[in-house]
Structure 1
């Protein structure tokens, strides 16, 4: 079996167009973008172009994009930066129980220094309830943060409905869209979000680059203090090389989202699994409202990692962990109340731009061979 990569939700390869866009900065364009001389001005122009490409993908203005080192930094800036600057208005934050650690751990950190955090649950499909979020709001609520889509199951959250609620109560609303941007249309104004996180390596840009959309008027305390880079919110000379890569990736994504065949291929994959394994395979997550590339399935009464170990040329992932002969279910599947005999067999297949039907057929044959 040839090596097959079905772990695009973990990280994507660099798009060839991204590599081409970055190449000149490896040889030329070495000036500091803050400099006013001949070496700095063209670099500043490249940085400006990259910011424009990112902003156009999500429907915001250039001044509302802050480049970061990735999704984790963007999430930390959104939560900590907002709390540090605005906790005098109230100390209550609302999030969900299935957030990525880059949201969960900053939330727990803020609890140690005085924040009160409400963690809302999810239904059997992994979706939060807008009504439960509204019930959790108090006079001290200053921030709501809910992921746009879940990285494990691909389930899309009702962000627009939550945005309406946040607007109704005048509460700042952040969404971690690391898994969604580049896969499905994301417009900050349509969603009514005030902050939004982007991670470059999820959409064919390099690792080590991301962005945070911050709506004009939202005030944050910077986490990195120094000179006035990135609207004074992230000190340090900008990494123009990686920013250019992210900008190009966003430009490509804006052209390809509506023409993506990933949903068709993902649905084909699921139909083939059901045809071969019937009741032995179960879908985790929402059957309709999920990312077009993500298929989280459980092989009933099997251990997901054991299955993957038997197909070493297949790159996929499982959220469950093995400890001394016991299986610890993914926290996301636990919150969805997935029974252990099902959850322990969970495998996340995440398809990408370069996945082919032949690869899917080969994977099906590989699983047939080990059952």
Structure 2
């Protein structure tokens, strides 16, 4: 009787183990068939639940990014007032109407082209802030992924059952000691990875600007401006797609280095091996998370446009500022949550849980 009971309890646990390959075998079928959406549902759902269970690190990542943007605004605003005082230009013309940091930095740099010393000083200030702020975010990302790795290894098969508070409590591994140990353990490796990422950003931006400037000069005043506009738009789309691919590979490499405690060089080899072993689900996670980010961006644009219309209404326009603040907070948290969801999904693909999933099964539970 005891043996039979042990087998009956162990059977659901064995059934909860996810196959590592990119194919799923349907019960009753003679041959395996290609992955369908339900097979892709498991890593996405697990990543979303791990990120939700460890929500403090989502907030921490948002605070780190907001701090970086605030620090970046300091030299940009200073350069704006420098342009206004030295070149006798209007501050609003330099900053722009939408107060975008990238557009403002471009406007300041353009205005300072005729003053090389001031331009070098401005670019140096922006570069120092970018390097320092990026280093802070890289170090904190090591602690965040360490928390997610702990959650991945001890959460059990929560993605195969309906969402329950007990599962989320089990997956919650947010701890100050775990976070700090992760930052210390992964600090140098993540700084090295971040340096490579910034170098790729810089080279990509320089190549993009070189293509745009060379094409504009080649077209000239009598060229086909409409055709060149289409080419410039295609180049911009290619740049966005390239950076999205780079960011995805960078995140996968971070996850593998953090989960397997590898060096950067060994992590690259392991990442190539794991991606080759399961390319379909890796691509599927990328497509799904990129689609979710696109939908969130579209919703943010629509909300911003709606708030712009409200601002013209008398008295009601006074509510625009708190609504904009709330929209900014919500947008930042949603994007950070989606980023950690994708990290948790890649952890599901590339790192197996250490604990037996038997402890996470609820009697009478029904697989999701």
| TM-score over 0.5 (shorter chain) | no
Which protein is bigger by CA-based radius of gyration?
A: 2
